[in-house]
Amino acid sequence: MKQGKLFGIGVGPGDTELLTIKAAKILKKVDVICSPRSAESKRSLALSIAQPILDERVDNYEILDPLFPMIEDKLTLKTYWDQAADIISNELKKGKDVAFITLGDPTIYSTFSYVAKRLEELGFEIEVIPGITSFTGCAAAAGISLGEKDEIVVIVPKVDDRLASLLKYGDTFVIMKTSRHSKILEEIVSQDKRDKSIISIQNCSMQDENIFEGFSKDKKYLSTTIVKFRDLK
C-alpha cells in the first residue's frame, strides 16, 4: 500500500479569507486533519480558522487533535511531539494524506517542525504550504511597512535579556506574545534614545482585532508589538 503524504499548512493569523488558494484546495481533499490543542479543554484556534473551508466538503474526514501544552520543559514536550508523530504515522501508513494545520506559517516558530522532523526520519513524504505570518498580518492591519530599502527587521519570539543587546542593530522589531512581558519590554525599548513609533496589535484579522499605540497591558495571548526606530510615514 502506498503511504500517505503529510502537508504542513499555515492557516494565517485568524481570518479564514487569508488562507491561500492552495491551502484551501488541500484542506478540501485530505483524509485527515491534524489540529493540535494547547489544553484538553481548549478547541484549536487553527481548526476554527480552517472550519469554514472544511464545512464546504461533502465527503467525510477525520480529525486528530493531539495535545501540545504550553510548557517550557523540553523533555516533557518531546514526549508530546513523539506521541503526535506516532498518531500521524499510523494514518500515513494506511495510505491517508494528513494536513497538519498551524497558525501563521509552518516555518515560523511552529510545533509542526518538531513533528515533521520525526516523520521525515521515518521516510514519509512531506510538503509545506506557507501561510500569512502573524507579523505581516499585523503590519498590514496597522497600515505600516515592516522594512524599506536596507532596513533590518528583527523578529523576537520572546522578551529576555538578549533583546537589549540587539536593539542597536535593527530598525524594526516585531515582538511576539508581548502581553506576557509588557513591563520588561517597555523598560528595554525606553533605553534606546532614538525616535521610535510603537504599535500593538491584538487578535489580528479576527472580529475582536484591536490596534493601538504603545505597549499591550492586558494578558491577551495573540498580542504583537511593532517598534520602528523612525517616524511612520
C-alpha cell belonging to residue 136: 505581516
Q: Which long-range contacts (CB under 8 A, 24 or more apart) does 208-211 make?
A: 209/14, 209/141, 211/141, 211/142
In CATH, the architecture of 134-228 is 2-Layer Sandwich (3.30)
Written as one letter, the residue type at 142 is: A
CA–CA distance, 146 with 128 (Å, rounded to integer): 25
Find out whether 4 and 34 touch, Cβ atoms under 8 Å. Answer: no
Percent of the chain exceeding pLDDT 90 equals 82
Taking residues 72-82, what's their average pLDDT? 90
Mean pLDDT value across residues 149-173 = 93
Q: What is the 3-state secondary structure (H, E, C) of 4-46?
A: CEEEEEECECCCHHHCCHHHHHHHCCCCEEECCECCCCCCCHH
**Cβ proximity of 135 and 29 under 8 Å:** no
- Please give the CATH architecture assigned to the domain spanning 5-129: 3-Layer(aba) Sandwich (3.40)
The model carries a pTM of: 0.92
Boundaries of every domain in the chain: 5-129, 134-228
Mean pLDDT of 147-161: 93
173 has a pLDDT exceeding 70: yes
Q: What is the pLDDT of residue 146?
A: 96
Checking if the pLDDT of 156 tops 70, the result is yes
Tell me the CA distances in angstroms from 140 to 45, 119, 230, one per residue in order.
21, 35, 18
Pair 60, 33: CB distance under 8 Å: no
Burial class (CB in 10 A: 0-12, 13-18, 19+), 201: buried
- Give pLDDT, residue 218: 78
Q: Grid coordinates in use for 8?
A: 504542513
Residue 233 has pLDDT above 50, yes or no: no
In the predicted structure, residue 41 carries a pLDDT above the cut 80: no
The pLDDT of residue 199 is 96
Lowest mean pLDDT among 24-38, 58-72, 78-92, 173-187: 173-187
Residue with cell 542593530: 169
